[in-house]
Amino acid sequence: MIRLLVIRPEPGASETVAAARAMGLAAEAVPLFAVSPVAWQAPDPSQFDALLIGSANAPRHAGPHLASLRRLPVYAVGEATRQACRDAGLTVALAGEGGLQSVLGKLDPAHRRLLRLAGRERVPLALPQGVSVSEQVVYASEPRAMPPELATRLADGAVVLLHSAEAARHFAAECDRLSVPRGGIALVVLGTRVAQAAGGGWWTVSVADRPSDTALLAKACALCQDHPQAGQ
């Protein structure tokens, strides 16, 4: 079976690899990003009804300023984000799946003024009528150079998971910098925006049916079996 490479930052990379290996995939974490906190000041919590959090990295890296916002309920995406919020002392009102956009459709009517704690790179949202969202950057995902040994391995073919447009742009740029041929690499991406950021020339680009790790790995499973190098 062809190797499946996960380039997202830790600890998410290892979590995705564990889920992939449970499905029988030959998965490996090769993070090309490192998450670091960004200096910020918490706004007045009385100006908001709830927090909107789309990544476990936000509560993990928000630091001491998060304490002043603990009275606000949280709308989170996914189990990992829910648990990270709880670990940070936050109360989760709802943990949805499929991205923050879907969560916005499930708001309590009393929660119309939201504070989004996010990374420097984030997906734009279409707001329901009467809902306002202020955004506060609390962390950044910093790109790392691709190691030459990884470039050599990619030349033999691989399936690569891409969780964000930022990851897609960086991975494509690093492949070009190190003259890695795109034709033997299959990309599995979290959405059409990520696919567009990756550009063309890959063996194939497969978009997950839903913006979730489960859907991403379902696509990856088929590609790992169908890849031209899978039997070698």
Q: Give the type of residue at 72.
A: L
Residue 230 has pLDDT above 60, yes or no: no
CATH code of the domain containing 83: 3.40.50.10090
User: pTM of the entire structure?
Assistant: 0.85
| pLDDT tens by residue, 8-35 | 999 999 999 999 999 999 999 999 999 9
Same domain, 74 and 157: no
Burial of 177-216, coded b for 16+ CB within 10 Å and e otherwise, reads ebebebebbbbbbbbeebbebbbeebbebbbbebbbbebb
**Domain end: 91, 110, 141, which one?**
141
pLDDT value, residue 226:
72
108 shares a domain with 154: no
Quote the CA–CA distance of 89 and 112 in Å, as a whole number.
22
What mean pLDDT do residues 159-181 have?
96
Position 169 scores a pLDDT of: 97
Q: Which residue range is the domain that position 8 belongs to? A: 4-32+144-226
In the chain, the number of structural domains is 2
pLDDT at 229 over 70: no
Lowest-pLDDT choice from 52-66, 181-195, 210-224: 210-224
The tally of CA atoms less than 13 A away on the side-chain side of residue 147 is 8
